[in-house]
Amino acid sequence: LFIQTDMKEETGDLAERIRQGDRPALARGITLAERGGDDALQLAGMLQSNSSCSWRIAISGPPGAGKSTFIDALGMILISRGHRVAVLTVDPSSPLTGGSILGDKTRMERLSREEHAFIRPSPSGKQTGGVSSGMRESILLCEAAGYDIILVETVGVGQSETAVHDMTDLFLLLVIAGAGDELQGIKKGILELCDLVLVNKADGDNADRARLAREELQRAMRITTPPNGLKGHTPVLLCSAMTGTGMAEVTDRIMAMMETARLSGSLQATRKEQEIRWLEEMVTDWLFREFLAGTDFQTRKSEVLKQMRSGGTDIFAAFRQLISGKAG
Amino acid sequence: LFIQTDMKEETGDLAERIRQGDRPALARGITLAERGGDDALQLAGMLQSNSSCSWRIAISGPPGAGKSTFIDALGMILISRGHRVAVLTVDPSSPLTGGSILGDKTRMERLSREEHAFIRPSPSGKQTGGVSSGMRESILLCEAAGYDIILVETVGVGQSETAVHDMTDLFLLLVIAGAGDELQGIKKGILELCDLVLVNKADGDNADRARLAREELQRAMRITTPPNGLKGHTPVLLCSAMTGTGMAEVTDRIMAMMETARLSGSLQATRKEQEIRWLEEMVTDWLFREFLAGTDFQTRKSEVLKQMRSGGTDIFAAFRQLISGKAG
């Protein structure tokens, strides 16, 4: 059931091409990962080996905070320092608009022309497996293809932040100075996830307001961040991705935080715990695929729903009927 | 598997006592419902019949909005008009405090002494099945015991609001006038769920600020509520649960909204759709109980986790090992 021979052959080829850094192959692999299921796991399993020397960085922030410009600028600095950068996007496909609210790769103009960058456009349309569907596998694939910095972009308005926090090493929040209320539009829970907060667009006429926003965020951080002997309060830095002001310092800080985490062993320990939660999700997903997505169950379900809608059965009888194929 | 004879006997007794309005029996039944599993479903199934003539009202709001005082006042008015009122609480047991953040039944001083009121104290400690564990079944039980108004209290800070919205007929949000920023502390998504917003503590020195808060909320409602030909924008009313000002009007408005929903048939249609989603949750819960909670699986899992922590296996091998008992 789990491994079909001919499929294994083909997945093996794809894995090899990804390992050689073949970009179209990487793109196809990520599509496979997003689709989920056995093939996705098999491919990720083949490519997981050398992922321990990469850094996974989440970049969150409300719409309008300038995430694309920031990633463009950060990515260019990282490449100039010898890194290879992959950008992945978690898109909480809005139920209202029905499509991507993030746009595509053209948002990162400089980075998208770089040989040492790989930008994955946001998936279009609705994903079946939740906002983070295939993201962990996609990260492994990018790492196998030789990218050592994986930037995972997420919009700080949905429920995807916790999921992304659970598959990255460092969580950045990008904000801008607002009209007197800096925390509007940022979900309170996100502050607790953050390792670093950046007030972007700290340039020109906006510089003073950005400084005030920074102070307010630092106050908020002292309230929301639980006292942590070793870690201290989450730092808040100023930058302007557009003019480049502060970007080198931000990059230095990110790299220093990552290096500290790696040297202390906390990076490895966190990843181990993340893997254990991933394993649990894998089993749950598999259970859904095997049972709930089965033809037998689907047929029984549409029959039962028809009866329920017509008032021909109550919910408890419907439930027993639905599970009767398995529970006997 | 699903129905054991002796258990059926005992559950049948409990159901009968609940139907007779026996309060300790109702309390025991709700404890059973919160625990979940087959017994809970069986009991709810026995008692589901006459639930169509009750109203289920969600009352949400940030801590400090005066929800307890409001429910106390609303409940007393409803009882004086001949209703029987049950109060249930969804407690998103804080992972930080580890316990109930809501306190207990003594918060509703007048209502807790009434014969025609049943107040369920918030469950203490952590629930295994999420914030809404057993809430739907508990509602059915209260209805079977003769309570025709079910007030479901929820703290407007967690992720429980959507779940509660999906098991009630009307969603009220209680807020108070803040210091210039009325929407602080209210999650944006909650406004979209609301059928009615109440600015509480509109009394004394606070009356003017409450009026301003109402105007701001009305503006916010015009922005966040999608245009709805029939429904219009969510109304915002002023009240003071403590002094009683506006409480009769609020009660009238609630009852009028419920009556309109019932007469138009939208109440019944919504409940049918809610039941279908409940059915899906039931099947999912059952699947988890049957497979993930099984001794076989648990034994295999702790063995695999030990191997993973020691570095003796990778996540993909661990996954195959975990599901091998079922997938072969």
Phi-psi region of A262 (alpha: psi -120 to 50; beta: other; left: phi over 0): alpha
Distance from CA of A95 to the nearest CA of B (A): 13
- pLDDT at site B96: 35
| A152 pLDDT higher than 70 | yes
Q: Which residue has the tokens 């695929």?
A: A289
Please choose, from the candidates B258, B190, B185, B180, the residue with its C-alpha nearest in 3D space to the C-alpha of residue B221.
B190
CB distance from A276 to chain B under 8 Å? yes
A135 CB-near residues (< 8 Å, 6+ apart): A33, A88, A90, A152, A163, A164, A167
With CB atoms and an 8 Å threshold, state whether A315 touches B275.
yes
Contact A175, A187 (CB under 8 A): no
pLDDT tens for A252-275 read: 999 999 999 988 989 988 998 999
| A154 pLDDT higher than 70 | yes
* pLDDT higher at B48 or B187: B48
With CB atoms and an 8 Å threshold, state whether B283 touches A292.
yes
Q: Provide the percentage of residues in chain B whose pLDDT is more than 90.
A: 41
CB distance from B140 to chain A under 8 Å? no
Q: Which residue has the tokens 């649990």?
A: A280
What is the secondary structure of B79-117 as a DSSP string? HHTT--EEEEEE----TTT-S-SS--GGGSTTGGG-TTE
Q: Which residue has the tokens 């307890």?
A: B68
The SS3 assignment for A118 reads strand
Q: Give A311's Cβ-side CA count (13 Å radius).
A: 3
Q: What angle separates helix B315-327 from helix B295-309, to the nearest 10 degrees? A: 160
CB atoms within 10 A of CB A226: 8
With CB atoms and an 8 Å threshold, state whether A315 touches B279.
yes
- pLDDT at site A256: 94
Contact A11, A107 (CB under 8 A): no
- pLDDT at site A291: 79
Element (H, E) at A60: strand A55-61
Q: Using the 8-state DSSP alphabet, how is residue B288 labeled?
A: I
Chain A interface, best mutation among B316, B320, B322, B326, by max A CB count within 10 A? B316
Residues of chain A contacting B44 with CB distance shorter than 8 Å: 316
What is the secondary structure of A214-267 as a DSSP string? HHHHHHHHHHHSPP-TTT-SPPEEE--TTT-TTHHHHHHHHHHHHHHHHHHTHH
- pLDDT bin (cut points 50, 70, 90) of residue B157 is low
Give chain A's radius of gyration (CA, Å): 22
CB distance from B274 to chain A under 8 Å? no
Contact B77, B160 (CB under 8 A): no
Name the pTM for this structure: 0.65
Please choose, from the candidates A246, A263, A160, A146, the residue with its C-alpha nearest in 3D space to the C-alpha of residue A196.
A246
Q: Which residue of B has its CA nearest to A274?
A: B315
- pLDDT at site A103: 47
| B10 pLDDT higher than 60 | yes
- ipTM metric: 0.73
Contact B63, B157 (CB under 8 A): yes
CB distance from B293 to chain A under 8 Å? no
Distance from CA of A181 to the nearest CA of B (A): 8
| B106 pLDDT higher than 80 | no
Of A38-52, A74-88, B71-85, the range with the lowest mean pLDDT is: A38-52
Distance from CA of A210 to the nearest CA of B (A): 20
